Amino acid sequence: MKFTLNVWRQNGPQDKGRMETYQVDQVSDDMSFLEMIDVLNEQLIGQGVDPVVFDHDCREGICGMCSMFINGEAHGPGRGVTTCQLHMREFKDGDEITIEPFRAKAFPVIKDLMVDRSAFDRIIQAGGYVSVNTSGNLPDANATPIEKPDADAAFDAATCIGCGACVATCKNASAMLFTSAKVSQFALLPQGQVEAKDRVLHMVNQMDLEGFGNCTNTGACEVECPKGISIENIARMNREFLSASITSK
């Protein structure tokens, strides 16, 4: 297969950036999208052009590192996949493909397709944990039974990989889906109750400080989320936030 690629090139945060067009051939349909970029990069190195910089690591849809905006969609066409799980069989021979970074004010571009998502880490640092120290003397793991539906729902929320597709997709660049997934995980578990109020207040506050936009309930994030994180989590976080704001002094 052959493709025409329009790739965003930007030398650093200060650079204005521009689109460059490249041709790749030698692509087979069972290659992953990132393997196709590998082919492009080997080709560019051969031509003395700097290879395209992009984030990736696990290449199996779990680390959350890959982050390309492909033909106007975060992680490209296809539902429930990350960029690294996208395969070239999803495209037609000869297609033109446009590749951009995940764009948001809170995700500054580092280089080419690589962005800085450390804002997500800081949201977690603001309260995305249970305050328990390491100790060999904690209560037995089965001491508090947890109803299966709650445990399952907490798990579902906890499967967020922190990729940022929700932010890149949202026209307001809101981080509500990401933040609410973590808030929900703890809200659904007994272990999360003690700090529930502070958690939601601090995490939402941090989200605002980082420059993420407001949520206007378009639901676009849920559609593009590779892990199927549900916007019900946003509703749950809003309830948690409201009750925490009312009862906190």
* Least gap, CB of 160 to ligand FES (angstroms): 12
Q: Answer whether 215's CB lies under 8 Å from 66's CB.
A: no
Structure tokens at 194: 């003690």
Binding residue (CB under 8 A) for another protein from 14, 16, 92, 136: 136
Residue 185 makes CB contacts below 8 A (sequence gap 6+) with 154, 155, 157, 158, 192
56 interacts with ligand FES by CB under 6 A: yes
* Least gap, CB of 117 to ligand SF4 (angstroms): 9
Give strand ranges (E) for 60-178. Answer: 68-70, 73-74, 96-101, 109-111, 114-115
DSSP string, 183-217: HHHHHTSGGGSTTHHHHHHHHHHHHHHTT------
Q: How many residues bind ligand SF4 (CB under 6 A)?
A: 14
| Binding residues for ligand FES restricted to 64-83, rule: CB under 6 A | 64-66, 82-83
126 interacts with another protein by CB under 8 A: yes
State how far the Cα of 118 lies from the Cα of 106, in Å rounded to an integer: 9
Q: Which is nearer to another protein, 48 or 94 (CB)?
A: 48
186 interacts with ligand SF4 by CB under 6 A: no
| Binding residues for another protein restricted to 74-113, rule: CB under 8 A | 80-81, 85, 87, 89, 110-111
Three-state SS at 233: helix
Q: Which stretch binds ligand SF4 (CB under 6 A): 140-148, 160-168, 191-199, 234-242?
A: 160-168
14 interacts with another protein by CB under 8 A: no
Q: Which stretch binds ligand SF4 (CB under 6 A): 7-15, 104-112, 175-183, 235-243?
A: 175-183
174 interacts with ligand FES by CB under 6 A: no
State how far the Cα of 163 lies from the Cα of 224, in Å rounded to an integer: 11
* Least gap, CB of 217 to another protein (angstroms): 27
State how far the Cα of 26 lies from the Cα of 37, in Å rounded to an integer: 12
Q: Which is nearer to ligand SF4, 190 or 228 (CB)?
A: 228
Question: Hey, what amino acid is at 38?
Answer: D
162 interacts with another protein by CB under 8 A: yes
Q: Answer whether 55's CB lies under 8 Å from 34's CB.
A: no
65 interacts with ligand SF4 by CB under 6 A: no
Binding residue (CB under 6 A) for ligand FES from 37, 84, 183, 207: 84
Residue 22 makes CB contacts below 8 A (sequence gap 6+) with 4, 5, 7, 40, 43, 44
Give me the helix-helix angle, 196-209 and 176-187, nearest 10°: 170
Q: Which does 178 bind (CB under 5 to 8 A by kind): another protein, ligand FES, ligand SF4, none?
A: ligand SF4
List of residues contacting ligand SF4 (CB under 6 A):
160-166, 177-178, 181, 225-227, 229
